[in-house]
Amino acid sequence: MKMDFDIIIIGAGLVGLTTALACAHKGASICLLDAADPAKADDGRASAVAASSYAMFEHLGIAARLEGHVQPITDMLIADGAVGDVSPLTLHFDSADLGGPTGYMVENNQLKPALLTAVRDNENTTLQAPVHISNTDRDAKGVTVTLKDKTVLTASLLVAADGRNSSLRREAGIDVQRFGYDQKAVVTTFKHELPHDGVAHQIFFAGGPLALLPLTGQRCSIVWSDKARAIEAAMALDEMAFTAELSRRIGGSLGEISLCAPRQAFPLSLQMADCYTDQRLVLVGDAAHAIHPIAGQGLNMGLRDAAALADVVAESRFVGLDLGGAAIGDYEAWRNFDNKMLGMTTDMLNRLFSNNIAPLRHARRLGLAAVNRFKPAQTFFMKEAAGEAGHLPSLLRR
């Protein structure tokens, strides 16, 4: 059997699903493939979705499917601290100054089913998973993907959304630059006694930042980054001891706390592909880039990739260009520079804040306080956090 599409996407994670919907929204026919059944994946993490990324979910009809499961981030508090001693010199972002939330928190076990259902309901998208891919071939005429059951799929463009260890990227011979941090991150969710009021907290400790991210109900997701040995020690604690240490670090601001999800630990690194395109191939999401979670922008970078690719696809279709031809160079120019700049920024912030050098610690605290008093600087950083700075793809515009 032979089936023809405009675009074949390999990888049905959050970014792959969104890329399929975004390109289908612009009129392209999409085939989405994955080696695993995306409906069976269990992900206990939560995602910080920037305001611009959430605007795309509204355009694509995803936001309506998430109703009741999304927590707006109404305020952000950023502080430098030591365990048991958080500096009063903080940076406060009030979303009222931006005209709306800077972002939204949603659990991945709610987000992925919403995206999956939308893909299955969309007449321009075909999902095949789980499937085994026998061969992919790209040449001047097009893309051919052959499945184990002898099904042959053809398209003009192949999109790699198959994660940071992307096999498509390796097969294309695209190199990556990788910088490992001597850090890991613990991710989990806890219930708390006092309301969070939609406020996100980021506290910078010597070993790495601790983010408290509000979820629906009286719950918060945490991303606790620290030296690898410290995180390994924290993971070895029983639940009561871990909760006590976490409570000590957040200073009891949310009252009594208790875990309501398993703890997961991940090594942290910065990884950037040298380029995002090859003959009839485009990289999106973690296949192209992976950054430190310090700014909560990892998923949003991938969602911006999806929106930018959708605009390139729409322009190509409008003027009758080959979707896998020279036009993908526009995507490369648009996303590669932006992502590398954000990757360098998060790397710099992590190096600046993840240390206990007294002069630097003092300068950091004074700097946070100075930005807090200077409205133009506040507005600039809020727009960056909301993903609303620079030239935005059409689907990201509110």
Q: Given the structure tokens 């893309």, which residue do they identify?
A: 143
Q: What is the DSSP string of 34-77?
A: -SS-GGG-----EEEEEHHHHHHHHHTTHHHHTTTSEEEE-EEE
Answer for the pair 191, 299: CB distance below 8 angstroms, yes or no.
no
386 pLDDT higher than 80: no
Q: What pLDDT is attached to residue 384?
A: 64
Handedness of CA 176, 181, 183, 186 (dihedral sign): negative
Domains of the chain: 2-42+109-177+273-353 (3.50.50.60)
Q: What is the pLDDT of residues 254-295, one digit of tens each?
A: 999 999 999 999 999 999 999 999 999 999 999 999 999 987
Q: What is the pLDDT of residues 174-215, one digit of tens each?
A: 999 999 999 999 999 999 999 999 999 988 888 889 999 999
Q: What is the reported pTM?
A: 0.92
Q: Given the structure tokens 């918060």, which residue do they identify?
A: 220
363 pLDDT higher than 80: no
Q: In terms of DSSP bridges, do strands 7-10 and 30-33 run parallel, antiparallel, or are they unpaired?
A: parallel
- Read off the pLDDT band of 49 (50, 70, 90): very high
In terms of residues, how long is the chain? 398
Give me Rg for the CA atoms of the chain. Answer: 21
The tokens describing 115, both together, are 């995206």
C-alpha–C-alpha distance, residues 11 and 13, integer Å: 6
C-alpha–C-alpha distance, residues 123 and 24, integer Å: 9
Q: What are phi and psi of 79, to 5 degrees?
A: -140, 155
C-alpha–C-alpha distance, residues 348 and 371, integer Å: 18
CB atoms inside a 10 Å sphere around CB 238: 8
Q: What pLDDT is attached to residue 246?
A: 94
371 or 129: which carries more pLDDT confidence? 129
What is the average per-residue pLDDT within 112-122?
97
Going from the C-alpha of 340 to that of each of 180, 211, 267, the distances in angstroms are 16, 23, 20
C-alpha–C-alpha distance, residues 43 and 99, integer Å: 32
The tokens describing 148, both together, are 């184990």
Residue (of 120, 124, 171, 119) closest to 143 by Cα position: 171
- Distance separating the N- and C-terminal Cα atoms of the chain: 42
- Determine the Cα angle at 256 with ends 254 and 262, to 5°: 95
Going from the C-alpha of 360 to that of each of 77, 364, 367, 377, 387, the distances in angstroms are 20, 6, 10, 20, 28
Buried b (16+ CB within 10 A) or exposed e, 31-55: bbbbeeebeeeeebbbbbbbbbbbb
* Residue percentage of the chain with pLDDT more than 70: 87
Q: What is the pLDDT of residues 54-103, one digit of tens each?
A: 999 999 999 999 999 999 999 888 887 655 555 555 666 667 666 789 89
Helix (H), strand (E) at residue 366: helix 358-373
Q: What are phi and psi of 120, to 5 degrees?
A: -70, -30
Q: What pLDDT is attached to residue 83?
A: 52
